[in-house]
A and B are shown apart, each in its own frame.
Chain A
Amino acid sequence: MNQVLGDKRAILILLGPALLMYSVIMVIPVVWSFGFALFRGNLIEGFTFVGLANFARLIQDEQVGSAVRFTLLYTVVISTGQILLGYSLALLYTFVLRRSSSLIRTLVFFPVVLPSVAVGLLFSRLFAVAPNTGPVESLLTLFGVAPFDFFAGAGTAFWVIVVMDLWRSMGFYGVLLFSGLVDIPGEILEAARIDGARGWRLIRSVVLPLSLPILVSSIIFSLNASLKVFDTIVALTNGGPGSQTTPITLLMFQTSFFYSSFGYGSSMAILISVMCLTVTAFIFKYSRRDLTVAEAA
């Protein structure tokens, strides 16, 4: 092995194709995108260098501010829901259902394999009041609630999005966290039980610390996916009513491809990247804390 890894040609042959592919589809476009953020123009007339003007506009643009606020609110609510529901499902699979959890796991996981757009359309029909009244609206009418349009108000539309995305993704986080819980050695759990740990005490003092690595990974997955949410919202509300459920990703897409402002859209893409990197770095920093050192101090 040392001989192979000591040979520069072998390293080049092994890493070269992957590095080349990564550079072509990841590094160059990101650098290019940053470059575009310094220009204004269109594909027909060409582009003009405007320096940091797009970033200055980004800071002052109320619609960007609104989209960022929506994205952050969505991220906090969805990630909290995904991790809590996912962890609860994982505990259910591990400690309650145990070996008979396969069927439930499959059923709960099923929405994950559905296309996001199909899920969006499904929920738009479920909560519709027009052109046809959906089941939820019909049910509310049965209980004497006056008909109203879930998608006409920012608040109600937001909670429909939350319900949809949690239903769609909780199975994934359930399985992901379940894989961490099954790796906890049975002997440790048994020892804890003998020591009198039960219920919440067992989870807090034994299960949670031992599943922390997979929990941190899940949080990073969840936060990054939530910050970059796009397809389900497009399919369900298309950012409406008005632009009140428009995340920054959708605003970037509209700005670039509907309004043909590639430079300004690129500056939004950079903003999204910075948001994702910041959150990831923050979590890494606090999850890599050496607990032993902290306790000793």
Chain B
Amino acid sequence: MKHAVRRSSSNTSRHLIIGLTAVSLIVGACAPAPAAPAPTTAPAASQASSASIKYTGTDPDKFSALLTTENTQVPAELQRLASTSCASENAALPLAIQQTPGAQIQQQIQLLASQNSLPVMFNPTQALIVKDGALQKAGYILDIKQALGDQGVSDQMLPGAQAVIDQLYPGVSPTIPFQYNIEGIFYNKKMFKEQGIEVPQTWDQLVASANKLKSAGIQPFTAGGKSGWPVSRWIGAYIFRSLGGDAMAAVANKTAKLTDPGYVAGAQAIQDLGKAGLFPVGVASEDLPTAYNDLVTGKAAMEYQGTWLLSNINDPKQNTVGLDQVGLMQIPVVSGGKGDSGAWPTNVGSPHAINAKLYGPKVGAWLKCIALNYADSLMTNQTAYSGFKASHPPVLAAPTPGTAPPPVPPLTTDVANYMASAKSSVLWFEALSPSAKFTADAGANSLLLLNGSMTPLEYMTALQNDLDNPS
């Protein structure tokens, strides 16, 4: 018989539990700030009257945000908005950002939630904010789609971004789409041209191109293997092309298993790339900046990445191969595969939730201001895309006040076109997993798969085991 320990105990006893848990386990064993675009106002017709807005909480005294240290883009833009477009909202509710390493933030979020002390905005894991997630059930997560609608700015959300959120979080809309990225293979156009390589359309052509580059003494692929996911994304990319865009959804709803032959074949395809020596010798030790650097300095020809990389690629100080020499190609089709060749893996960045218990008029005003101004500020200053509507065409920040803004880099324009013309989207390998352990193991074990220490079946069996035994 199971006995539930009710959460009705006082905060004091909860603090005691938390403290003792930690102790017992241990004992027992900016870029410069250029001018941002002028504040945008919502069309009068879409302005909602404040009386009709349903606020789910009470405003705190600060617009507090607990974000990961690795998250550099969002804090920089929020701070910029606080001093420009959202200055009045900031005067009413000052922005206060606190950052903590990603490895520790979930523990901190759970601790704060248990003490009813969560800040206004925070970076939770996906598992906590899905419809049946612990924070959802505890009433902490504001429905962003509903809130933007109430604020009269629902038309600011890009339909594509909302579609991704709907796939990731069926039935709820718990995250602000601070990013809107498509993923694919960035490649060095000059190297391809010199070697007489056309952009590969099939997986076999991709492998042949990589082998040709290797024979010419060029490192074909680079990846920030130390983070794990830059390698495991390759596995997902193959599976989505071979089995179709709903391949991982089938695993999530238990109509398929990762140990089924089609999924194992995905792992096998990536192991084959590793065995052929197409990744660097030290891929397991390469961090993300090193991998970016390999691509934009001409040390490697290709890297699987997302368009968040645009800010690096468009920076002439980092990119020595030329702003017009880096291209983005789709994941090639797999012969006989069921995948939609026009579908790009798409994401909306890491989850950014708003505390529903602190959602009052001032937080609402901040949310509305973000929806109206974030996209332009991000494009202007970091040449990146968010899930909100931006002015078209994008305008970049002038290097010095009074001078003309630089032209929009060609890849940024290409990405905008890809996004506009995308027929459909797919998620990514780990996207629908409810388990943090699955994500961690998918990344960490992918390096063993790549160097042959783990067979494709062993890799998929370990991941299926994580799915079968959730924490």
Contacts and interface: CB of A to CB of B under 8 A. Distances in A.
Contact of B447 (A46, A48, A242, A252): A242
Contact of B107 (A48, A244, A257): A257
B285 A228 contact: no
Interface string B1-26: 01111110000001001101101111
B434 to A, nearest CB: 11
Given A48-B3, A242-B453, A129 B25 contact: no
B114 A44 contact: yes
Interface residues of A, number: 64
Contacts of A25: 23, 27
A42 B444 contact: no
A258 B440 contact: yes
B453 A30 contact: no
Could you say which of B29, B135, B280, B283 has the most chain A C-beta atoms within 10 Å of its C-beta? B29
Contact of B18 (A33, A43, A148): A43
B24 A29 contact: yes
A266 B4 contact: no
Contacts of A240: 284, 444, 447
B405 to A, nearest CB: 34
Interface in A249-282: 249, 252-262, 264-266, 268-273, 276
A7 interface: no
Nearest to A133: B282
Nearest to B16: A32
B29 A273 contact: yes
Contact of A269 (B24, B128, B284, B453): B24
B453 A244 contact: yes
Contact of A49 (B2, B21, B281, B440): B2
Contacts of A97: none
Interface in A60-80: 61-62
Contact of A30 (B24, B436, B465): B24
Interface string A108-133: 00000000000000000000111100
A45 B137 CA distance: 8
A283 to B, nearest CB: 19
A153 B451 CA distance: 8
A256 B23 CA distance: 12
A159 interface: no
Ranked 9 nearest A-B pairs via Cβ: A130-B282, A272-B29, A269-B28, A33-B24, A29-B24, A129-B282, A43-B114, A131-B290, A269-B29
Given A49-B4, A266-B24, 19 more contacts: A30-B24, A30-B28, A44-B113, A44-B138, A45-B138, A46-B6, A49-B5, A130-B281, A130-B290, A131-B287, A152-B447, A243-B444, A244-B448, A258-B106, A258-B107, A259-B437, A265-B25, A269-B28, A272-B28
